[in-house]
Chain A
Amino acid sequence: MNPEVLRDVPVLETDPLLDDPATRIVVCCGAGGVGKTTSAAALGLRAAERGRKVVVLTIDPARRLAQSMGLTELDNTPRRVPGIDTARGGELHAMMLDMKRTFDEIVEAHADADRARAILDNPFYQSLSAGFAGTQEYMAMEKLGQLRARDAWDLIIVDTPPSRSALDFLDAPGRLGSFLDGRFIRLLAAPAKAGGRAGLKMFSLGMTGVSMVTGTLGKLLGTGMLRDVQTFVAAMDTLFGGFRTRADATYRLLQAPGTAFLVVAAPERDALREAAYFVERLHADRMPLAGLLLNRVHGSSAGELSAERALAAAETLEEDADGGAPHRLAAGLLTLHAERMRVIARERRMRDRFTALHPEVPVAEVAALPGDVHDLAGLRDIGDLLAAQPPVPQQR
């Protein structure tokens, strides 16, 4: 922690957020590589040990982090995490999203056996469900909706997919939903039907327009693929409506008061730029933002010694040839301190730039750890660091 940092921004207090029974969903979002999944896991563990019944939905966890929560296989079902402190009556469950399995389950649940088989065997479906753009985001939201509907947990913590861009996570579900329900796919599904009067009006293209579209697509993709798409769409007919409806429902669930978004970042330029973008986007979509979780922040308890003085002192000691090992070691310590102070200065610049743009966003900082987290103890430490934010300073 940086006690000497002048904190003029509100502090994000995670414990009250996690303890509040009205908080039902916490969404961790942010750029890739900022410790999003680790944060989600640490928050889940802390909430569980403070008495809540929690499920953590992770998207693509690092192997050892998954192992730390007892997740060894991707089976798309929440598993109870052993080894947590249950003195306050809490429970921790965790699962890894299997997007193909999730998609398959939707098909199996909403179509009769023959039709489900036809869909699952369709090559177009197999490619779509195995993870092309948007599917992962859609399925993460789908799974979130399912978990919420089961109502077996009182807190769901979601890690978001490492999207191409910040937009995907909010947009892709609606996009896929509107595609699967949309008129274009209906046009593909039933060119003859669409060629009827209603279809003509609907597309304002006229008969030649319709056949031109399918004709062009046929030429472009090859009629084989077009046929696969058409078969797929015909088979999916019973599922239409459902996708869009559920995507819309999940979107509304995210806007509801029981949801809290945490934007996760590291004190680096790109991560904070992405974080600022998320903050703006969440605001525009009226999603409830709880605050910014800033991971890997460096501090020093010798902050009164500046980088410049430390470096000058290190040089003095290195030049003194008679100083022996203690001088060499002292110079090393000073060099490291100078580096630390420069890192702190850079991180502060980055953070200040963010808070200048978004002074209203509460921030919690988590100190940088030398290594990665592999076990519950490590996750617990992160939770402790998160909770131990310095108090809001009085005006000086």
Chain B
Amino acid sequence: MVTGKGGTGKTTVAAALALALADAGKRTLLVEVEGRQGIAQLFETEALPYEERKIAVAPGGGEVFALAIDAERALLDYLQMFYKLGSAGRALRKIGAIDFATTIAPGVRDVLLTGKACEAVRRRDRAGAFVYDAVVMDAPPTGRITRFLGVNDEVAGLARVGPVHHQAQAVMRVLKSPETAVHLVTLLEEMPVQETLDGVAELRGAGLPVGAAVVNLVRPAVLDAADVTAADGVRAELAEAFATAGLGGARRGGKAQRLVDPLLRQAREHAERVTLEERQRAEIAALDLPTLELPLLWDGVDLAGLYTLAAALRAQDGHAVTGDLGGSSGGPGGGPSGAPDDDGDEREGAGA
């Protein structure tokens, strides 16, 4: 589960994670639940239909499948599966029952979305092996994640008997198991970090497994506050240095001299941000979670950028994200269809 405040890049991180987990011949499923078609846009493909379809090949021959879950379709499938409804499904839709169930009825929508993802986690092929080594969900934002994942507890309490009750309980067992990890994407800014702290507290309070903090869009600290103060004291020398580098005259009013003020101002803003970022880093560190950082890609994230980010995830502590989020590979009684579990774990351990 990948969550994060709006604007932190959780869809990008989820996609990069699905690619990273598909390393070495594995197969992953990337799931979208908010109907935004963010995955299709990232992978530069047409809008995803309600079916699992291969969207990328990972280095080493792994495969990433993607699915945009549509709550209404999921409900009709579900009814068909359990009740062989046929035309009654149409009747339900006609009187607004489907719309009611998927948009308004307390939590049914979220039950369907989480339920479909859990079904993919548990699905096996004919040989009994799990179909997907991992399922990565681009989940709702941090502010809603605990409620979203906890909805099955709530619905199990509302619908006290019946298939929805059982389904909700089964989903909750998967979500609370060590097979699941909720990763929180943040930026080194106050509001996203605060939301991450709140989110972690809520998840822990609800007994949901917190995975890693993923700090996204990290820029290198080029100069700090002390550097800027030092630079401010050697303005004439800076002008001369600019002149040395061929940027014009160093004398008063010369081109190089006129660069000193604006560049110092930019450096001051940078240093101020670096100081703020350090404070946010400390806040994140206090959470005592595995923490990964992903660099800002200056030209934005295109398909090549996704592979770069996936490589960055793998290059950092594999167990933080790729180890715990084994999805079905950690499940009982069957290895994944690709590389055996043990090999995967050793390799990830070596990379740590």
Chain A residues near B (Cβ < 8 Å): 31-34, 60, 62-64, 123-124, 127-128, 131-134, 162, 164-165, 172, 175-176, 178-179, 182-185, 187, 203-205, 209, 212-213, 216-225, 228, 266, 268-271, 273, 300-302, 305, 309, 312-314, 316-317, 320, 323, 325-327, 329-337, 339-340, 342-343, 346, 370-372
Contact = CB atoms under 8 A, between A and B. Distances in A.
Contacts of A218: 162
Contact of B97 (A184, A224, A225, A325): A184
Nearest to A296: B7
Contacts of B304: none
B154 A127 contact: yes
Contact of B6 (A33, A182, A334): A33
A313 B300 contact: no
Shortest 9 CB-CB distances between A and B: which pairs? A32-B6, A33-B7, A222-B162, A127-B106, A330-B241, A313-B245, A326-B237, A33-B6, A302-B262
A370 B88 contact: no
29 contacts: A32-B7, A62-B190, A64-B194, A124-B158, A128-B104, A176-B104, A187-B95, A205-B91, A213-B88, A213-B97, A216-B85, A216-B92, A219-B162, A220-B162, A221-B158, A222-B164, A273-B41, A301-B262, A302-B263, A305-B259, A309-B247, A313-B247, A326-B238, A326-B240, A327-B241, A333-B263, A337-B263, A339-B222, A346-B300
A329 B234 contact: yes
Contact of A175 (B82, B99, B300): B99
A339 B106 contact: no
Given A165-B35, A179-B104, A370 B223 contact: no
Given A184-B100, A309-B247, A316-B245, A220 B36 contact: no
Residue with the greatest number of chain A CB neighbours at <10 A, chosen from B6, B195, B267, B298 = B6
A175 B109 CA distance: 15
Contacts of A323: 241, 244
A48 B105 CA distance: 41
A334 B154 CA distance: 56
Given A34-B7, A162-B6, A175 B104 contact: yes
Contacts of B8: 33
B222 A336 contact: yes
Contact of A329 (B94, B104, B238, B299): B238
Given A165-B35, A216-B88, A334 B104 contact: no
Given A62-B194, A336-B263, A164 B140 contact: yes
A203 B263 CA distance: 72
A127 B107 contact: yes
Nearest to B217: A268
A372 B266 CA distance: 18
Contacts of A164: 34-35, 140
Contacts of A219: 83, 162-163
Given A183-B96, A336-B223, A340-B266, A371 B272 contact: yes
Contact of A370 (B83, B227, B246, B272): B272
A204 to B, nearest CB: 8
Given A175-B103, A216-B83, A323-B241, A329 B160 contact: no
A124 B91 CA distance: 24
B238 A372 contact: no
A146 B110 CA distance: 30
A222 B276 contact: no
B242 interface: yes
A41 B257 CA distance: 41
A309 B106 CA distance: 59
Contacts of A346: 298-300
Contacts of A372: 189-191
DSSP majority for the A interface? helix
Contact of A223 (B100, B161, B163, B234): B161
Contacts of B190: 62, 64, 371-372
B104 A342 contact: no
Contacts of B92: 213, 216
A49 B8 CA distance: 33
A346 to B, nearest CB: 6
B147 A131 contact: yes
A253 to B, nearest CB: 23
A313 B163 contact: no
A150 to B, nearest CB: 28
A329 B227 contact: yes
A316 B231 contact: no
A203 B245 CA distance: 81
B176 interface: no
Contacts of A132: 104-107, 109-110
A199 to B, nearest CB: 11
Interface string B130-165: 000000000011010001000000100111111111
A178 B95 CA distance: 12
A169 B35 CA distance: 15
A62 B192 CA distance: 9
A182 B162 CA distance: 26
Nearest to B162: A222
A103 B184 CA distance: 31
A33 B276 contact: no
Contacts of B157: 123
Given A183-B96, A224-B159, A313-B242, 9 more contacts: A165-B34, A216-B79, A218-B162, A228-B158, A305-B259, A317-B245, A326-B241, A342-B299, A371-B276
Given A133-B109, A336-B222, A317 B38 contact: no
Given A179-B104, A222-B160, A336-B266, A31 B6 contact: yes
Given A182-B96, A333-B264, A222 B161 contact: yes
Residue with the greatest number of chain B CB neighbours at <10 A, chosen from A228, A326, A371 = A326
A175 B100 CA distance: 9
Contacts of B350: none
A60 B241 contact: no
Contacts of A123: 157-158
A162 B94 CA distance: 30
A300 B272 CA distance: 17
A323 B92 CA distance: 78
A209 B158 contact: no
A213 B231 contact: no
B235 to A, nearest CB: 9
Contacts of A131: 147
A370 B245 CA distance: 29
Given A33-B8, A179-B104, A339-B298, A333 B266 contact: yes
Contacts of B143: 60, 162
